[in-house]
Structure 1
Amino acid sequence: MSTENEGATGPSEAMPPTGPQASDSAPASASGAQTPDTPPVPATPPAAPPPPDFAPTTSGAPHGHAGPAPVGGTPGDQDRTVTMGAHPQPGRPHSGGGWGQQPPYGGGGDPWGAPGGSVPRKRNGGLIAAVLVAALVAGGIGGGIGFWAAGRDDTASTTVSAPGNPEALNRKPTSVSGIAQKALPSVVTIEAQGMTGEGGTGTGFIYDKQGHILTNNHVVASAAEGGGKLTVTFSNGKKYDAEAIGRAEGYDVAVIKLKHASDAVLQPLPLGRSANVQVGDATIAIGAPFGLSGTVTTGIISAKDRPVASSDGGGTSASYMSALQTDASINPGNSGGPLMDAGGNVIGINSAIQSAGSGGLGGEPQQSGSIGLGFAIPIDQAKRVAQDLIKTGRPVYPQIGVQVGMKDTGDGATIAQSGNNGTDAVTPGGPADKAGLRPGDTITKLDDTVIDSGPTLISEIWQHKPGDQVTLTYKRGGKENTAQVTLGQRTGDK
């Protein structure tokens, strides 16, 4: 059986099979829209004197990144696959998959009390953003009313203007607009390019005034591993070179630093507490989907503690998280960007998305639009990892010192009878060994969290830090037992 040393085996080693095509014997990777051009449709004015012309404008935005994507063919942040709990599904990490947002609130309102209304959004790849017919009709009606109210004598020309009320345009600081305007200068677009030209576009945000930026490992890996180049672009268009300070592949967290931080205006985003998040809380995501930097989307927390294993298509990078799930629209390029609460505090790092389809040509996952299933690394975990990376440049992984089967069965995480390459499945003298666990034991709970698989066990352990004491519930010979385990640690290269 293919196994993963849960804690004792570092994330830099070959990752276990977690995808739908995985088997117990061969490792497999697991991991993290457009409309056709529409010609403008003139509004139909009311009868009688003709209203003013309504000439819709069209605009397009190129993707903004000429380099080839490393996996999925879409320039931008890398494609990844997500596996959730005991039911692996083909998908992509948030930075590497496309999603279309569904309004999470009925009636067109929003939880921040901002005025209703929609904001036209640019599309990638030079596509034209056509003005909706409904908007034109609404505009025609409004113009017609203004005209008739002002000029019923049919003899004089009339100038129509919108009613003026400057106060109506003031946005509350707690509205989506208020939060976005404050946060956007602290959110950056990251372009990573390896020595051979591979790379893509992702997102990051200012972590401190020393110029550290928090993002995903898979956003910067191509440049950091190959001696490539990292470029950071702020919302005002200014660009800066950056360097990788530390990367945690297992957590999918990385810290980079501006090379000339003194030249930039650095305003760190406030960090919230992901432990305090509740299902149904409002969320705001900011990023650069398909290279469209400064894109703001909203949603809610759909679920907490969602076990997610994510990896790139090549199996060279895999991570495990007990994720925050959100329905805010997240697409390729959003990876590494902040997921914020209704107070403008960062509660997670957008990292992976679930794709609706898989099995394209050659068995590769298909690129698809947002289906409202996005996953973010909880900020409580990401903050701890970032502090380790800034301090030492290396991540620290808590461990219990066992190797478990990684096939998703839904029945728990079973300790292997023998470890990889002839090693012990239970590390002698390790935390699990001291607590009395043996090969063949099936771990079913960690504290109050149900464990349905090896990836779930890892993601839950990595929510803690070395030295924490946890209660493991396990089955042996059909009987249920519990053990108190003090987590050990392993320092990784990445």
Structure 2
Amino acid sequence: MSTENEGNAVPPAPSAPPVPVGSPETAPQGPAAAGNPPTAPLPPVPQESPAAPEQGVAYQPVPAPDGTWPPPPATPAYGDGAGPGGPGAGWGASYQQPAPKPRNGRGGLVAAVLVAALVAGGLGGGLGYTLAKDSDGGGSTTVSASDSATQVKRAPGTIAHVAAKALPSTVTIEAESTNGEGGTGTGFVFDTQGHIVTNNHVVADAVDGGKLTATFPDGRKYDAEVVGHAQGYDVAVVKLKNAPSDLKPLALGDSDKVAVGDETIAIGAPFGLSNTVTTGIISAKNRPVASSDGSSTSKASYMSALQTDASINPGNSGGPLLDASGAVIGINSAIQSSSSGGFGAGQSGSIGLGFAIPINQAKYVAQQLIKTGKPVYARIGASVSLEESTDGAKITDQGTGGAAAVESGGPADKAGLKPGDVITKLDDHVIDSGPTLIGEIWTHKPGDKVAVTYKRGGQEHSVSMTLGSREGDS
């Protein structure tokens, strides 16, 4: 497999195909599925075929004269002019594309499925997860949750109390490119100057002259512009135009102090359902995740993620992952799909495997973007193999385009590393592959000193290394 110089460029996503981890089972539907049919006689019902329910109107099944219950009407998939759930829905991501504009004159599911390898930290196994951009070819299915939660007081420490305080500081972001393509994601208020933090992949369509809007739970909608975006970190900052004076930034927590088992609260717009609140726990820390947007020219995104079982679906991307006190500990970014299938085949929504960028890393990136408009990446100045491995991150024999694998005068060179060395630890974190190493490096800032453990000729060595820096433009 080809390699990239980690220190000089943001490497592409690994090309290994994801491993399917099962297909969702079809759950029984309708009242009969509950095993509790009505026991009292029921009045006869006219036999005309019932009209299809209007969108947004709950389906109310009625029994036939013989007491049997009809099946519920089929729910069209996204792209058929209705909500999620049909066979064509492209589930398995955290970014939701809205309905195409009427001028397109055509419906149909349009999904760009992004596949990346997830290396299970400590296990060395390769898991597949899918990032998908779904398209609803019919009318809008966005349903805004009631903002009445902000009007009702709940006891401190309850989920309702945390949600009531956090919801007014979250926004639903709609991004549209110059050719009309785009999607919906989430963001949250970062400061009182109108800066909103979200994912790069949420706003990518609007970077070059596109349209960007942010809508608050109370219905206020503002035009916005991209201040800066970091594709490698998958973090972006946008700024509201004519920002209101009453913005309340969300408090930022300390993701380094998060423990497995801590409660989590996620806020976002899954499948366009704005202001949705879900809960769970921290399932794991330092979970290496690598992804790309699937294009041939894209650069990879790497993160040492917080894993949560809070329900995260397309449209949750960029939204805050909160702790029990309401402080932001991460930015929801990706989920694992139950299948690596293509356009809707065997795909699902949340299966309890969501991944968030730790807020300590995202905060640093956001501050750099606000300050200079450009991200700054920590680097070691060495090319590492991106092939799946359980042994560590191997420094390649040659870098990109024939360049040296170890940059002369770079951090790795100064630390005495050479081609063929296999890095197995960064500080106290086990490194089982190149992507894992990059994700861990990017949790640090340029200038940080790290302890590197590596193997050479079967012998283990340790050395201290000062990380370098590289300014990126995406």
**TM-score (norm. length: structure 1):** 0.74
- Conservation of the 8 A alpha-carbon contact between 2:192 and 2:245: no
Q: Return closer, same or farther for 1:302/1:247 CA change in 2, 3 Å cut-off.
A: same
The one-letter code sitting in structure 2 at the alignment partner of 1:284 is I
TM-superposed deviation, 1:88? 3.1
* 1:194 to 2:228 alignment: no
The aligned runs of 1:38-187 (5 Å cut-off) are: 58-59=57-58, 65-67=98-100, 80-85=114-119, 86-93=124-131, 171-187=154-170
Hey, what's the Cα distance between the residues in 1 that align with 2:345 and 2:235?
24
Q: Return closer, same or farther for 1:244/1:35 CA change in 2, 3 Å cut-off.
A: farther
TM-superposed deviation, 1:312? 1.9
- Conservation of the 8 A alpha-carbon contact between 1:82 and 1:352: no
Match of 1:372 in 2: 352
* 1:210 to 2:207 alignment: no
TM-superposed deviation, 1:227? 1.4
Aligned to 1:452, the other structure's residue is in SS state coil
Sequence identity (%) = 60
Instruction: Please give the per-residue CA displacement for 1:356-391, whole angstroms capped at 9, x wherever unaligned.
Output: 101336xx9854121100000000000000000000
* 1:356 to 2:344 alignment: no
Q: Which residue of the other structure, out of 398, 402, 412, is the alignment partner of 1:422?
A: 402
Instruction: Please give the per-residue CA displacement for 1:206-241, whole angstroms capped at 9, x wherever unaligned.
Output: 0000000000000000111x3110011110111110
Aligned to 1:356, the other structure's residue is in SS state coil
Match of 2:281 in 1: 300
- Conservation of the 8 A alpha-carbon contact between 1:241 and 1:259: yes
Match of 2:257 in 1: 276
The aligned runs of 1:369-408 (5 Å cut-off) are: 369-408=349-388
- Conservation of the 8 A alpha-carbon contact between 1:19 and 1:90: no
Q: Return closer, same or farther for 1:317/1:74 CA change in 2, 3 Å cut-off.
A: farther
Match of 1:157 in 2: none
- Conservation of the 8 A alpha-carbon contact between 2:303 and 2:439: yes
Match of 2:12 in 1: 15
Aligned to 1:89, the other structure's residue is in SS state strand
TM-superposed deviation, 1:65? 2.6
- Conservation of the 8 A alpha-carbon contact between 2:98 and 2:140: no
The aligned runs of 1:431-446 (5 Å cut-off) are: 431-446=411-426
Instruction: Please give the per-residue CA displacement for 1:268-302, whole angstroms capped at 9, x wherever unaligned.
Output: 11100001100000000000000000000000000
Higher-Rg member (1/2)? 1
Hey, what's the Cα distance between the residues in 1 that align with 2:347 and 2:39?
42
Instruction: Please give the per-residue CA displacement for 1:438-465, whole angstroms capped at 9, x wherever unaligned.
Output: 0111111111111000000000000110
TM-superposed deviation, 1:420? 1.1
Match of 2:210 in 1: 228
Hey, what's the Cα distance between the residues in 1 that align with 2:175 and 2:285?
31
Hey, what's the Cα distance between the residues in 2 that align with 1:396 and 1:419?
21
- Conservation of the 8 A alpha-carbon contact between 1:96 and 1:335: no
- Conservation of the 8 A alpha-carbon contact between 1:36 and 1:127: no
Moved more, 271-280 or 310-319: 310-319
- Conservation of the 8 A alpha-carbon contact between 1:397 and 1:490: yes
Hey, what's the Cα distance between the residues in 1 that align with 2:100 and 2:7?
36
Instruction: Please give the per-residue CA displacement for 1:461-486, whole angstroms capped at 9, x wherever unaligned.
Output: 00110111111111111111111110
Hey, what's the Cα distance between the residues in 2 that align with 1:37 and 1:187?
34
Number of corresponding residues? 397
- Conservation of the 8 A alpha-carbon contact between 1:82 and 1:88: no
**TM-score (norm. length: structure 2):** 0.77
The one-letter code sitting in structure 1 at the alignment partner of 2:3 is T
Q: Return closer, same or farther for 1:399/1:126 CA change in 2, 3 Å cut-off.
A: closer
Comparing both structures, which one devotes a greater share of its residues to helix?
Answer: 1
* 1:482 to 2:462 alignment: yes
Q: Return closer, same or farther for 1:235/1:321 CA change in 2, 3 Å cut-off.
A: same
Hey, what's the Cα distance between the residues in 1 that align with 2:113 and 2:275?
20
Runs of 4+ deviating beyond 6 Å? 33-37, 39-47, 73-76
The one-letter code sitting in structure 2 at the alignment partner of 1:84 is L
Q: Return closer, same or farther for 1:314/1:66 CA change in 2, 3 Å cut-off.
A: same
Moved more, 399-408 or 57-66: 57-66
Q: Return closer, same or farther for 1:272/1:188 CA change in 2, 3 Å cut-off.
A: same
- Conservation of the 8 A alpha-carbon contact between 2:222 and 2:242: yes
User: Which structure is richer in relative contact order (CA contacts within 8 A, separation 6 or more)?
Assistant: 1
Hey, what's the Cα distance between the residues in 1 that align with 2:7 and 2:428?
20
Q: Return closer, same or farther for 1:493/1:34 CA change in 2, 3 Å cut-off.
A: farther
- Conservation of the 8 A alpha-carbon contact between 1:279 and 1:302: yes
Hey, what's the Cα distance between the residues in 1 that align with 2:334 and 2:345?
14
Hey, what's the Cα distance between the residues in 2 that align with 1:271 and 1:127?
29
Q: Which residue of the other structure, out of 442, 463, 471, is the alignment partner of 1:462?
A: 442
The one-letter code sitting in structure 1 at the alignment partner of 2:386 is M
Unaligned runs of 5+ in 2: 20-24, 42-55, 60-81, 85-96, 102-107, 144-151
The aligned runs of 1:337-352 (5 Å cut-off) are: 337-352=319-334
Q: Return closer, same or farther for 1:365/1:38 CA change in 2, 3 Å cut-off.
A: closer
Match of 2:93 in 1: none
Unaligned runs of 5+ in 1: 23-32, 48-56, 98-123, 129-168
Hey, what's the Cα distance between the residues in 2 that align with 1:199 and 1:366?
24
Aligned to 2:129, the other structure's residue is in SS state coil
Hey, what's the Cα distance between the residues in 2 that align with 1:74 and 1:412?
41
* 1:331 to 2:369 alignment: no
Instruction: Please give the per-residue CA displacement for 1:322-370, whole angstroms capped at 9, x wherever unaligned.
Output: 0000000000000000000000000000001001101336xx9854121
Match of 1:285 in 2: 266
Instruction: Please give the per-residue CA displacement for 1:188-220, whole angstroms capped at 9, x wherever unaligned.
Output: 000010011111100000000000000000000
Match of 1:320 in 2: 302
Q: Return closer, same or farther for 1:36/1:96 CA change in 2, 3 Å cut-off.
A: farther
Match of 1:243 in 2: 225
Aligned to 2:292, the other structure's residue is in SS state strand
